[in-house]
Amino acid sequence: MLVAVPILILFPILLISISKESWYPFFFKIARVWAKIILIGMGFRYTITRDQIPEAKRSYMFIANHTSMTDIMLMLVAIKNPFVFVGKKELAKIPLFGFFYKRTCILVDRSSAKSRQAVFLQAQRRLKQGLSVCIFPEGGVPDEHVLLDVFKDGAFRLAINHNIPIVPLTFADNKKRFSYTFFSGSPGKMRAKIHNFIETTNYNVETTRDLNDTSRAIIYKQLQEFHKA
C-alpha cells in the first residue's frame, strides 16, 4: 500500500516526468519524497551521517552493501544528487512500481554478457547527461548470514573509465528491519553512513581490483563498528 498509493496519486505527474530523459532530475525529486513516505510509514527512523557531502554539479558512483528491498528507499533519501540505479531486470515485474522502474533505471540480466555490456553503454550516456550512477556491487542480496559478500568489478571499471569518484555508503540495519525472510523485521532505527569519497584518478583498468578491495574494506569495517554499537 505504501509503495502503490503515492504512485497512484502522483501518476500523471510521474508519467510526464519520465517522458523525456532531460526531465529525469524532476522525477528523482518525486522519487525521494516517495522513498521518505515508505520508510516513515513503515515505522523506520533513519539517521544519516556524512564524512563528506557530494557536490551538486558533479557525477559520482554511489555504492552500498545490499541487504534489503529498503536499500533502494534509503539510498534515495540519503543522496540528493540525481542518480540512476543499475538493478536487476526482475524488479520490473513488480506491478506499478515496475512500470517506472524499467523506464528510469538501467536494467541488467546478470546471465547475459550482452546485457552487461549494454549497461556500460547506458551508464555512459547518463553520466554524460550530468547524472550519477548507483550500483550495489554485491550483485544481489547475499545469504542472511553473510555480513558482506564479494564485490563485482562493474561499478569500479565504470568509475575508472569516466574518472568519477566512488562514494561508499554503509547501511547498518536494513537487513534487521526488513529482510527477505518472511515474518521477520520490525519498526525501528535505520542507520546509514556516507564515507569519504575515493578519487579514481590514480586507478586504471589493471588496478580495478585494488579499487574494489579498498571500497569493500571501508564498508566492511563500518559494518563491524555498527554491529558493536
Per-residue pLDDT, 2: 85
Residues 6+ away with beta carbon under 8 Å from 35? 72, 73, 74, 76, 77
Per-residue pLDDT, 160: 96
d(CA 172, CA 193): 8
Per-residue pLDDT, 118: 84
Q: At 193, phi and psi to the nearest 5?
A: -130, 130
44-50 and 83-88: which strand pairing?
unpaired
What does each of the 229 residues of the chain score in pLDDT, given as a tens digit?
888 888 899 899 999 999 998 999 999 999 999 999 999 999 999 999 999 999 998 999 999 999 898 999 999 999 999 999 998 888 788 888 888 888 999 988 766 667 767 888 898 899 999 999 999 999 777 777 889 999 999 999 999 999 999 999 999 999 999 987 777 889 999 999 999 999 999 999 999 999 999 999 999 999 999 988 6
Per-residue pLDDT, 113: 67
Q: Using alpha carbons, list the distances in angstroms from residue 88 to 54, 81, 99, 152.
A: 26, 22, 14, 14
On whether the CB atoms of residues 48 and 120 are closer than 8 A, the answer is: no
Per-residue pLDDT, 111: 67
Per-residue pLDDT, 140: 73
Residue 203 is placed in which grid cell? 586507478
Q: Is 227 helix (H, G, I), strand (E, B) or coil?
A: helix
d(CA 57, CA 192): 23
Helical segments of 81-153, H only: 97-104, 113-128
Per-residue pLDDT, 229: 65
Tally of CB atoms within 10 A around 160: 22
